[in-house]
C-alpha cells in the first residue's frame, strides 16, 4: 500500500501554500522495486499498477535507512520537509530521480560484505551478489545455472535438505545453521548461514541465504577444544598421581610409623611393670607419674597417625570397598550439629578409579554441607539400576551461591565436576532457598566395568 499524503493548507495574505509533511516515500519504494527486479531476473510478481506492488522492505535480507540528508534525497530537491511541491511533477525529473535511487540501492546490495544467495522452490540459485561471488569463486552467471545442494558436503546434505523443507513450512522466520560449502577451486569452507523463507513474497519468490565464512573461527574453536581436552587429561593425570601418592604415604604411615608407635607403647608398658618390681614405693610414685604422661603422649601420636592415614586414604576403601567407605564417611561426619544418614543400594564393589572418584565426590559434598549449608540432616542414597549407579546427597540447609564460594578460593565444586568427567559421569547440583541442596551423580554402566 502507498502512503497517503497529508496536505496542510495555510493562508498567508492572498497566497496559498501547500506544505507536504510526508514526501517521496512512494517514489522511493517504486525505485527500490525496480532495482531489485533488475538484480533478480524473472522474479515475477511485479506489476505496473501502483496499488498492486505491495512492497515491504523488510522482506529483503538487508535494511536500508535513508535520511533526509542522504545523496538520494538531496537529489530529489533537498529537504524532505516544508518543501513546495508542484501539483504535477515533471516526468523528466521523476525519471532522473528513479535512476539515481536505483543506482544507489543496486550498489548497496552488490557492495555489502554479506554474501547473499537466493534459491527458488526447486533449489536452483536465482541471485547472487558480489560478496557471494567472492565467497564461492563463481561468477553470478555461473551460479545461476547451478543448484545449491550440489555444493554441500555429502555427509551434511540430508541435514541441509531437511532444513530447507522445514524452512518452506515457516513463513519469514530465520533459521541458523552451519554447513560446508565447496568453492570453485575445490576447497571446502565452513559457512554460518541465516536462512529466511520469502517464497510467498511476490517480488522475491525464493529462499534467502545470508552466508559468512567461519572456517578460521572453527579452526580456532577446534584448537581451543583440543587444548581444553589436554588440560583436562593433564589435570586427571595429576589427580591420579596425587591419589597414588596419598595412598602410598597413608600405607607408609600406617605400616611404618604406626607400628613403631605401637612397639613404643608396648615397651613403655613393659617398663612400667618392671619398674614396679625393683623400685621402692616412693620412687614408684615419681616414675609412675612420668610413665603415665609418656603413655598419654604415645596415645596422642597414635591417634594423630590414624587421623592422617584416614585423611590421606581411608584403608576401608581398599579393604572393604565403596559401600563400607561411604558408611564410614557418614559416621565420621555425624556430630552434634549435623546428622548424616546413608541408605545403601550398592550391592557390589566398583573398580578403580571409579570408586575413588565417587568416594571423593561424596567426601567433598559432605564437606560443603558441613562448612556452608548449616544443615541439620544430610542423607546419602546410592542406587544401582539398569542404567548405572545413581548417588544422591541432599541436605536441609540453606542454599549457596556457587560464584561466591569459588571467589573464596575454594574450588571444591569444580573439583567434583572434574572428577565426574574423569569417569564419564554426569554431576548435577541443585540448590534452592528453603529446600537445601541436592547433589546427583549418575555413573553409566560402561564406567562401572
What CA–CA distance (Å, rounded) separates 380 from 194? 49
What CA–CA distance (Å, rounded) separates 136 from 114? 13
Given a cut of 70, whether residue 380 has pLDDT beyond it is yes
Given a cut of 70, whether residue 196 has pLDDT beyond it is yes
- Helices within 320-388 (DSSP H only): 322-333, 354-368
What CA–CA distance (Å, rounded) separates 407 from 16? 75
Contacting residues for 8 by C-beta, under 8 A, at least 6 apart: 18, 19, 21
339-375 pLDDT, tens digit per residue, is 999 998 887 888 888 899 999 999 999 988 888 888 8
Buried-exposed string 375-410: b where 16+ CB fall within 10 A, e elsewhere: beebbbebebeeebbebbbbbbbeebeeeebeeeee
Where are the extended beta strands (E) located within 183-259?
Answer: 188-198, 206-213
212-250 pLDDT, tens digit per residue, is 999 888 889 889 989 988 888 888 888 888 888 888 888
Residue 403's pLDDT band, with cuts at 50, 70 and 90, is low
Mean pLDDT of 82-108: 63
Q: And the C-alpha cell for 144?
A: 545461476
**Summary mean pLDDT of the chain:** 77
Which of 222 and 97 is assigned the larger pLDDT? 222
Given a cut of 90, whether residue 379 has pLDDT beyond it is yes
Asked whether 375 and 337 are in contact (CB, 8 A), the reply is: no
Q: And the C-alpha cell for 161?
A: 535438505
295-332 pLDDT, tens digit per residue, is 888 888 888 888 888 888 888 888 888 999 999 999 98
Which of 28 and 291 is assigned the larger pLDDT? 291
Pick the closest to residue 114 from 215, 180, 211, 214 (CA basis).
211
What CA–CA distance (Å, rounded) separates 81 from 11? 18
378 three-state secondary structure: strand
Q: And the C-alpha cell for 206?
A: 525464493
What percentage of the chain exceeds 90 in pLDDT?
A: 14
User: ∠ at Cα 383 (377, 388), nearest 5°?
Assistant: 140
Asked whether 400 and 416 are in contact (CB, 8 A), the reply is: no
What CA–CA distance (Å, rounded) separates 109 from 208? 13
Burial of 343: CB neighbours in 10 Å, binned 0-12, 13-18, 19+: exposed
Strand order in the sheet with 115-119: 125-128, 115-119, 206-213, 188-198, 175-182
Burial of 131: CB neighbours in 10 Å, binned 0-12, 13-18, 19+: buried
Residue 22's pLDDT band, with cuts at 50, 70 and 90, is very low
Mean pLDDT of 380-402: 86
Question: Maximum distance among all alpha carbons in the chain?
Answer: 144
* Residue 4: predicted pLDDT: 40
Asked whether 129 and 225 are in contact (CB, 8 A), the reply is: no
Q: Which contacts (CB < 8 Å, 24+ apart) does range 101-104 have?
A: 101/27, 101/28, 101/31, 101/32, 101/35, 101/72, 102/31, 102/34, 102/35, 102/38, 104/71, 104/72
Asked whether 114 and 133 are in contact (CB, 8 A), the reply is: no
250-295 pLDDT, tens digit per residue, is 888 878 888 888 888 888 888 888 887 777 777 777 777 888 888 8
Given a cut of 90, whether residue 440 has pLDDT beyond it is yes
What percentage of the chain exceeds 70 in pLDDT?
A: 76
146 three-state secondary structure: coil
Residue 175's pLDDT band, with cuts at 50, 70 and 90, is confident
Asked whether 179 and 153 are in contact (CB, 8 A), the reply is: yes
Q: Give whole-number Cα distances, 134 to 20, 62, 125, 211, 270, in Å.
A: 45, 18, 16, 12, 96
Given a cut of 50, whether residue 334 has pLDDT beyond it is yes
Q: And the C-alpha cell for 132?
A: 557471494
Which of 155 and 20 is assigned the larger pLDDT? 155
What CA–CA distance (Å, rounded) separates 349 from 355? 8
What CA–CA distance (Å, rounded) separates 233 from 320? 29
* Residue 32: predicted pLDDT: 55
Per DSSP, what are the bridge partners of residue 190? Answer: 180
Pick the closest to residue 61 from 170, 161, 200, 206 (CA basis).
206
Give DSSP secondary structure letters for 159-186. HHHHHHHHHHTSTT--EEEEEEEE-TTS
Q: Give whole-number Cα distances, 417 to 271, 314, 346, in Å.
A: 54, 22, 22
Give DSSP secondary structure letters for 397-411. S----HHHHHHTT--
Amino acid at each position: 500500500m502507498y502512503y497517503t499524503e497529508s496536505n496542510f493548507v495555510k493562508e498567508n495574505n492572498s497566497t496559498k501554500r501547500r506544505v507536504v509533511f510526508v514526501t517521496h516515500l512512494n517514489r522511493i519504494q517504486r525505485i527500490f522495486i525496480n532495482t531489485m527486479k533488475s538484480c533478480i531476473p524473472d522474479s515475477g510478481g511485479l506489476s505496473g499498477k501502483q496499488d498492486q506492488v505491495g512492497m515491504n522492505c523488510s522482506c529483503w535480507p538487508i535494511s536500508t535507512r535513508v535520511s533526509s540528508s542522504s545523496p538520494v534525497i538531496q537529489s530529489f530537491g533537498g529537504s524532505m520537509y516544508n518543501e513546495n511541491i508542484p501539483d504535477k511533477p515533471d516526468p523528466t525529473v521523476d525519471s532522473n530521480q528513479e535512476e539515481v535511487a536505483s543506482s544507489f540501492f543496486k550498489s548497496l546490495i552488490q557492495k555489502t560484505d554479506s554474501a547473499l544467495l537466493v534459491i527458488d522452490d526447486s533449489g536452483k540459485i536465482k541471485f547472487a551478489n558480489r560478496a557471494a561471488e567472492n565467497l564461492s569463486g563463481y561468477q553470478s552467471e555461473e551460479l545461476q545455472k547451478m543448484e545449491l545442494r550440489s555444493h554441500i558436503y555429502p555427509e551434511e546434505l540430508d541435514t541441509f535438505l531437511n532444513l530447507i523443507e522445514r524452512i518452506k513450512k515457516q513463513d519469514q522466520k530465520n533459521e541458523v545453521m552451519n554447513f560446508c560449502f565447496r568453492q570453485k577451486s575445490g576447497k571446502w569452507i565452513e559457512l554460518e548461514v541465516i536462512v529466511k523463507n520469502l517464497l510467498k513474497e511476490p517480488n522475491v519468490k525464493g529462499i534467502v541465504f545470508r552466508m559468512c565464512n567461519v572456517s578460521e573461527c572453527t579452526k580456532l574453536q577446534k584448537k581451543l577444544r583440543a587444548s581444553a581436552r589436554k588440560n583436562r587429561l593433564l589435570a586427571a593425570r595429576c589427580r591420579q598421581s596425587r591419589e597414588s601418592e596419598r595412598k602410598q604415604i597413608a600405607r607408609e604411615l600406617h605400616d611404618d610409623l604406626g607400628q613403631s608407635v605401637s612397639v613404643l607403647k608396648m615397651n613403655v608398658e613393659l617398663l612400667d611393670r618392671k619398674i614396679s618390681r625393683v623400685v621402692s614405693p616412693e620412687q614408684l610414685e615419681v616414675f609412675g607419674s612420668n610413665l603415665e604422661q609418656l603413655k598419654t603422649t604415645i596415645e596422642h601420636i597414635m591417634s594423630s597417625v590414624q587421623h592422617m592415614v584416614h585423611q590421606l586414604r581411608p584403608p576401608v576403601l581398599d579393604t572393604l570397598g565403596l559401600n563400607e567407605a561411604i558408611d564410614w564417611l557418614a559416621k565420621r561426619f555425624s556430630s552434634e550439629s549435623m546428622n548424616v544418614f546413608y541408605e545403601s543400594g550398592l550391592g557390589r564393589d566398583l573398580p578403580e578409579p571409579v570408586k575413588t572418584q565417587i568416594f571423593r565426590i561424596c567426601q567433598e559434598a559432605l564437606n560443603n554441607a558441613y562448612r556452608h549449608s548449616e544443615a541439620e540432616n544430610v542423607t546419602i542414597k546410592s542406587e544401582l539400576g539398569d542404567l548405572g549407579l545413581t548417588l544422591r546427597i541432599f541436605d536441609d540447609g540453606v542454599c549457596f551461591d556457587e560464584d561466591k564460594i569459588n571467589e573464596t578460593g575454594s574450588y571444591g565444586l569444580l573439583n567434583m565436576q572434574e572428577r565426574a568427567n574423569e569417569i564419564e559421569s554426569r554431576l548435577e547440583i541443585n540448590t534452592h532457598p528453603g529446600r537445601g541442596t541436592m547433589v546427583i551423580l549418575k555413573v553409566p554402566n560402561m564406567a562401572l566395568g
